Amino acid sequence: MSTDIATIDEDLGPAMLACTPLQRRFVIALLENGDANATKAAEEAGYSASSRNMLRVQAHNLMHSEKVLNAIAEQGRKHLRTGAFIGIRAVMENAGNPTHKDKLKAAMSRLNRIGLHEMTEHKVTVERTDDRQLEAKIISLAKELGIDYTKLLGANSKVDAIDAEFVDVTPKPSAGPELEPWEIASQCVNKKP
C-alpha cells in the first residue's frame, strides 16, 4: 500500500480517528485500489485469515461497520475535494475550445459556479377550501364508491351526516302497560335481530 497511515494521522477527520489503525488502513486501501474490492483492500490493510473465504467474511463485516462506512464517506469526500482542480481544468478547456461540442454546457457551468445562475420563474396558485366543503365532497365521493366515510374522516368529522337509517318505534296497541317513548326506543335498540 502506498500510503503509510502513521504519516497522515494529523490529517484524519473524526470518522477516521474513531476507527482502529487496521480499519483506517482498510479504508485507505479501499479508496486507493480503485476497483472497490473489499477483500483485496482487507488483505492490503494487513488483515489475515486462515482462508480466502475468511478474509472475504472480514471484508464483508468491515463494509457493514458503521464506523468504517462513516470513515469511507469522510475520506471519499476528501479525495473528491482534492481532485476538484481536474474538473475545473476540464471545464475551462472545454469552454475555451471553440470547436468542442460541449462548449455551451461548459460556459454555463462556469457561470453557475460563480453565481450567475439562469433565472427561473415559478407560479404558485393557492386555493383555500372550507373544511366543511372538503369533508362534504369526501362524504359524497365515498358514498358513490360505497366506502364508509367515517373510515376516511374519522369519528370527529365536522360535517353532520347527510342521511341516516331509522327504525319506526311507533308502539303497537297492546293489552300491557303503557310505555314511555324512551322505554320503547330502549327496547328497539336492545332487540336482537
* DSSP class of 11: G
Question: Nearest to residue 65, comparing CAs of 35, 33, 42?
Answer: 42
Q: Do 111 and 95 touch, CB atoms closer than 8 A? A: no
Share of the chain above pLDDT 90, in %: 27
Q: Do 74 and 15 touch, CB atoms closer than 8 A? A: yes
Give the pLDDT band (50/70/90) at residue 183: low
Specify the pTM. Answer: 0.47
pLDDT value for 69: 95
Interval 69-95 mean pLDDT: 85
Four-residue CA torsion sign, 8, 9, 10, 12 = positive
> Which residue do the cell numbers 502513521 mark?
6
Q: Which 3 state secondary structure label does DSSP give 65? A: coil
Give the pLDDT band (50/70/90) at residue 18: very high
Cell numbers standing for residue 151:
373510515
pLDDT value for 55: 93
Interval 125-136 mean pLDDT: 80
Q: Which 3 state secondary structure label does DSSP give 7? A: helix
pLDDT at 145 over 80: yes
Q: Enumerate the H helices of the chain as residue ranges.
A: 14-17, 21-33, 38-45, 52-63, 66-82, 84-96, 103-113, 131-145, 149-153, 181-190
Per-domain residue ranges of the chain: 5-82, 84-113, 131-190
